[in-house]
Structure 1
């Protein structure tokens, strides 16, 4: 974990038993002298470097005492695993980490390992079905297996079944088909996302009292969500997004104080929100977007002091958005999306005043380790994600920066004026209030949103002029004020010089660049050839003629232009000008 670079020199010692060079920037070929001299090694970690070339895995069989081996995350390194040679055996190997090593086949030497406890083959190119011997070993040989990660490969067929006691089991982003086996062991973390699994969620999950993470997202699961999932005592992540689940959300979320992420978005869930969600007092992400939930705004969620992401978009929520009266409502909320619902009424000033998490994130932006992402306190591989509209485009944030803030209230029926207090949300990067019935003027206080990158106020009933102060928004990349009742001169300067006509169309009383409508109120006078010529001895018409016939002759025509005001006939006659 330093910044060490260059190749690894040849080893010449025999006594070394532990070698860790991970998380540096070492380059060059993998040091083969390890196999020649370090035959007493029990621990070898060369992961997360820039080693290159080809390594024959059979060479590792010379290290017979090896217990721990990791060469993961060397993007220029390839590993040759000969499928026809399984003679080499590492009798003591219990921990094998071979992620991102360009492995194409399931390593056959694993069949002879007796003490394997942790296996990471993720992010490779392994294709085809999982061998029968691997499934047999999981059931009968590797009964102390703790960690299995086969995600991000091209595996097919049925799901392997890990032994009881496995705390992390990930096979996401493969091509497994069929349903979830009813005999699947209850791992602490079960990640089966991004496959082609179908069927219902088995009721055996109700017995998973030690389950920490259940991730079944991006499959074809149908049926209802088992009611027991809300009451599992140790569950911190429930990710069932992008399936075909229907029915109600589990009604009983117990006060287990463990839930950090609940993602049920992009299903067909209906009914109302269970009030028991307020028991999840350390909840950070609640994503229920793209369902058929019909309810009023859950203001009782404002007591969740750790909530950072709340997405209710594209449901059937209705009514006004008001405060529930919590002392510090939504203090850490940074992503607030209730777009595409049926909310109505005015935008509450007190509601926006409470968004402390959007007011000042200077501590995060100047963190000594640079930009930070949301992560779980347990440090597992799961990343929180969310789909938001950024600069008019639907974008999935596969990792969420702790500095990312946005408010999307678009496609509702909100009315009244834009609260001036929105200008206090100085860290806001995106604001979308489009397609509502908002009236009044654009608050000048929006000039304080110095981090704003997109602003959409289109399709409302806004009046008055566009505040000149908005030209101070130096990061503003997308502006949409179209289809309102704005009037006056469009501000110019800074970012406003980059916006096109479509930012302002549908405002007939606006004028100025980039619109073709001039802001000059004087009636246009018919052009006077004599007046133009009198303005300058070498007006543009004289110059044009001069370029056609020669500079000297052009000067002559220019003088004639002044005297007769009808030079064009002579130009055509003498120069062939048409």
Structure 2
């Protein structure tokens, strides 16, 4: 009896100690020792991140010690018979250190079948080739932990793999700091090919941000070898530059495909024989194109279809709405046309419909207002017409109809949508009068955008009490406001506020300043630009990212309290009346990528302490009274694209050290006191991406900088393959602008086209000849070398500038003839060669036939059209023609005789016509001659 009780006691103790991992087992001694060694290679957990995708920071290894059995350790699974470790799950264990190095003891766990190490901190670690020794692995995941380097080819030895998960980025760091740079994992074609050929039972492939740019279509086609096994395929942001074989969509067991964010991945959807059990399909931000085929209706299990930001075109297929399981449909940012289908009865489960950013027209169908399961309706940025109907559903949470051609009164039924969180109705041509207090019925509202409705009057001026307790984003851009809406005062959760382009005048209210300093602790974006605000600048709170107050009448200094807003991404104080010094701290902000202080009255020097690793992409300090010299710490701005220091008092030599900046595209030093000879720093590729180079109105001397011109790679390769208009900048919160002299006029471009390439060296004291290397800048659109001391002739290589639209060489000492080859410049609209020493005949033909006298004045030795001065050759030619006519018998006497005979013949013929009628032979003769002339001039033939 005692033995029986003892047995039960032992079983009970095992149950208490080891539940629920296993029934009382004895861990293999070698495996236990290997695990303890593995534990010792990592640092003590240290959780300090603001955001964590894991529910809690708990290290599985805390239970690992030399006393207990390893089969009872957290995250460890043992074989029920042998006691060998077959499973290791350390996901979200806050491990920090080197992973899978050459001496890692984990490679001794030869019976290991499952290895999960996701969401830890192995930054800088790579996968060692010994991973191929774990030949029993069926599950391997190393996602979100900062693994880098090449995926070793030995991973293909894992022929039993069922699941492979690699995401090449430290998600823990990225989610807390989106500006974090990362070193990617790379997968070459050989390793990919061997892996797919050997691991023929793969069910799930999940590769995120793994560099697969060298993978081509032939390698991707190997996925068809997994036709009997593959269930899930995730290749997010892998830089694949190939066409995906259409047959992959037809794999018989494939249920999930996500190929998003591969902008160079091409392909089309199958237009027939598509009957797979696919449940999830996402091709967002890829180069897939063509029509959305009717065959998509055969995917009876499809619940989520996301084709956002592709190149799909054509009509919205009716068959798309015959999928009965569809829950989410996202076709935004494509080129779809036509109306939204009006009769839909089968999509009873549709909850999320996103069709924004297309060219859809017609009215909004009635079912959109009453669909029982609809949670999100996004139809903004289309060409929809008609009025907004009355809503009868109570579940709608997202309603976005902005930027359409809608009309009619504001629908009152919107105020009955008590679950509504996002409401976007900007630029919709709605009319009527709305009292703002009605929005207080929408207690769940988080986002409200009523901007740019010229016919809609929203009353914000009443002094009644109302509050939107959950409102975080308010956009009232161009809403005819004359004061700050007072209902903002009690709000605590505000994160984004746009009151720009209104008529608000006077000082910032005290309650607004107080909220900035104390209440709005989570606010990230404020836009008060384009009003008539006065007084001192408001101080942005710490934690803010975007602060825009340009085009007002703010005055005074920029307060040193600005230095507390170290989290700023964009700071725009341009076009005000600010004075004083630029705070030096602005050069040290780690995330600031756009600083715009242009057109104020600031003086003193630029910040001299631009920190290493900064984020600056745009620095616009033009139009102030800054003086120099320039700080060489600008070389730390390695991400800089736009540097505009024009119209200041900066006195310095040419900052040749800027030539090392790898991404600089716009450099404007115009109208300063720069001087001296321009010398190169002898960088191998100076200014490799420069497209706009403006150093006009300075005091530069010596020859034109031929060494730079010869290496301007950004101006050599025309963007012939670019479709559509693209601009500098990567954020809707700020757009780059520039002032340039274009075609003789000073113009401020509010946005900078990526194809705009110009050089302006005018109003200096440059000498010497025009470098022949300029002819290699095939993308150049504008060239201004005027008001210098340039000598020599126009190089023939200028004729190679086939994209040039304006050329100004005026006020120099150029000589010789104007090359006839310049007439081949088919886009040349403005030419100024005045005030030089050109001679000879002005070329004719092409665009040269459109230029007038102003293009050539001040060249006394030029002749020909359009000047009134005839060339000697013209006079001789005219005299010679008269003599030739007289010698050949066709002088003036013959002309008089012929003229008289013609009159007599005409009189006789006229009488004949009057008395007899029109002679048909003469009519036909005239008709033939006239038609021949009309045909030569591409006009319709004449018929009598």
> Would you say same fold, with TM above 0.5?
yes
- Structure 1 residues 291, 534: closer, same or farther in 2, change over 3 A? same
C-alpha distance in structure 2 between counterparts of 1:210 and 1:37, whole Å: 39
1:469 to 821, 827, 832: 821
Deviation per CA, 1:166-196, whole angstroms, max 9, x where unpaired?
333333223xxxxxxxxxxxxxxxxxxxx23
| Of 159, 168, 172, the match for 2:550 | 172
Question: Is the counterpart of residue 450 in structure 1 residue 828 in structure 2?
Answer: no
1:78 touches 1:102 (CA, 8 Å); kept in 2? no
1:60 paired to 2:412: no
2:392 maps to 1:27: no
- Whole-angstrom distance in 2 between the partners of 1:538 and 1:230: 91
What pairs with 1:255-294 in structure 2 (closer than 5 Å)? Answer: 255-294=612-651
Q: Deviations over 1:276-301 (max 9, x none)?
A: 22221111111222223333222221
Q: What is the TM-score with the length of structure 1 in the denominator?
A: 0.81
**Partner of residue 759, structure 2:** 407
The 1-side partners of 2:486 and 2:870 are apart by: 76
Change (3 A) 1:86 1:395: same
CA gap 1:58/1:243 in 2 versus in 1, 3 angstroms: closer
Q: Give the drift of 1:481.
A: 0.5
Aligned residues of 1:57 and 1:79 also touching (Cα < 8 A): no
| 8 Å CA contact retained: 2:548, 2:573 | no
Structure 1 residues 488 and 407: alpha-carbon distance in aligned structure 2, compared to 1, 3 A threshold: same
Q: Which runs of 5+ in 2 are unaligned?
A: 1-355, 361-383, 908-944
Contact kept, 8 Å, 2:537 with 2:555, in 1: the verdict is no
1:42 to 418, 421, 426: 421
Deviation (angstroms), 1:420: 1.7
- Are the counterparts in 1 of residues 833 and 856 from structure 2 also a CA contact under 8 Å? yes
SS at match of 1:27: strand
Query: Would you say 1:197 and 2:576 are equivalent positions?
Result: no
Secondary structure in structure 2 of the residue aligned to 1:488: strand
**CA deviation digits over 1:309-360, x for unaligned, max 9?**
1111222222322322112111110110111222222224332121111112
**In 2, distance between residues paired with 1:329 and 1:425?**
15
1:491 corresponds to which residue? Answer: 843
Unaligned runs of 5+ in 1: 175-194, 553-578
How far apart are the structure 2 equivalents of 1:538 and 1:256? Answer: 92
Tell me how far 1:474 sits from its aligned partner: 1.9
How far off its partner does 1:18 sit? 1.4
The partner residue of 1:90 within 461, 468, 481 is: 468
Q: 1:204 to 1:158 in 2, by over 3 A?
A: closer
Report the equivalent of 1:177. none
* 1:427 aligned to which of 779, 786, 794: 779
Q: In the alignment, which residue of structure 2 is the partner of 1:382?
A: 734
Contact 1:344 1:413 in 2 (8 A): yes
Aligned residues of 1:533 and 1:539 also touching (Cα < 8 A): no
1:459 paired with 2:817, answer: no
1:195-238 per-residue CA deviation (whole Å, 9 max, x = no partner) reads 2312x333334444333333333333333334443333333233
Structure 1 residues 373 and 127: CA distance shift in structure 2, 3 A: same
| 1:244-263 Cα deviation digits (max 9, x unpaired) | 33333333322123221222
| 1:154 and 2:532 matched | yes
Q: Does 1:353 align with 2:710?
A: yes
Distance 1:238 1:24 in 2: 30
Deviation at 1:374, TM superposition (A): 0.8
Q: Residue 482 and residue 233 in structure 1: after superposition, are their counterparts in 2 closer, same or farther (change >3 A)?
A: same
| In structure 2, C-alpha distance between the alignment counterparts of 1:102 and 1:535, rounded to whole Å | 81
Query: What is the aligned partner in structure 2 of residue 81 from structure 1?
Result: 459
Contact 1:487 1:511 in 2 (8 A): yes
Q: State whether residues 539 and 562 of structure 2, in contact with CA within 8 Å, keep that contact through their aligned partners in structure 1.
A: no
- Please tell me whether the aligned partners of residues 535 and 555 of structure 2 are also in contact (alpha carbons under 8 angstroms): no
Judged with a 3 Å threshold, the aligned counterparts in structure 2 of structure 1 residues 535 and 298 are, in CA distance, closer, same or farther, namely farther
Give the structure 2 partner of residue 124 of structure 1: 502
CA RMSD for the aligned pairs? 3.0
Task: Choose which of 364, 372, 375 in structure 1 pairs with 2:726.
Answer: 372
TM (norm. structure 2) is: 0.51
Task: For CA contacts below 8 A with separation 6 or more, give which structure has more relative contact order.
Answer: 1
Kindly state the Cα deviation for residue 423 of structure 1 after the two structures are TM-superposed. Answer: 1.3
State how 1:100-115 maps to structure 2 within 5 Å: 100-115=478-493
| Counterpart Cα distance in 2 of 1:209 and 1:196 | 22
SS of the aligned residue for 2:872 comes to: coil
Query: 1:3 corresponds to which residue?
Result: 359
Q: 1:18 aligns with which of 397, 401, 410?
A: 397
| Cα distance, 1:36 vs structure 2 | 5.7
Q: Distance in 2 between matches of 1:452 and 1:282?
A: 29
Structure 2 counterpart of 1:323, from 655, 677, 680: 680
1:249 paired with 2:610, answer: no
Contact 2:522 2:543 (C-alpha < 8 Å) held by counterparts: yes
Q: Which structure would you say has the larger Rg?
A: 2
CA contact (8 A) 2:654 2:678 kept: yes
After TM superposition, give the deviation of residue 407 of structure 1 in Å.
Answer: 0.3
Which of 555, 565, 580 is residue 223 of structure 1 equivalent to?
A: 580
Tell me the secondary structure at the aligned position of residue 896 of structure 2: coil
Give the Cα separation in 1 of the matches to 2:897 and 2:862: 36
The answer to whether the 8 Å contact 2:839/2:861 transfers is yes
With over 3 angstroms needed to count, the CA separation of the structure-2 counterparts of 1:422 and 1:391, relative to structure 1, is same
Tell me, in whole angstroms, the C-alpha distance in 1 between the residues paired with 2:763 and 2:722: 35
Q: Residues 161 and 206 from structure 1, CA distance in 2 versus in 1: closer, same or farther, beyond 3 angstroms?
A: closer
Which residue of structure 1 aligns with residue 665 of structure 2?
A: 308
For 2:668 and 2:390, the matched residues in 1 are separated by 56
Q: Distance in 2 between matches of 1:27 and 1:165?
A: 38
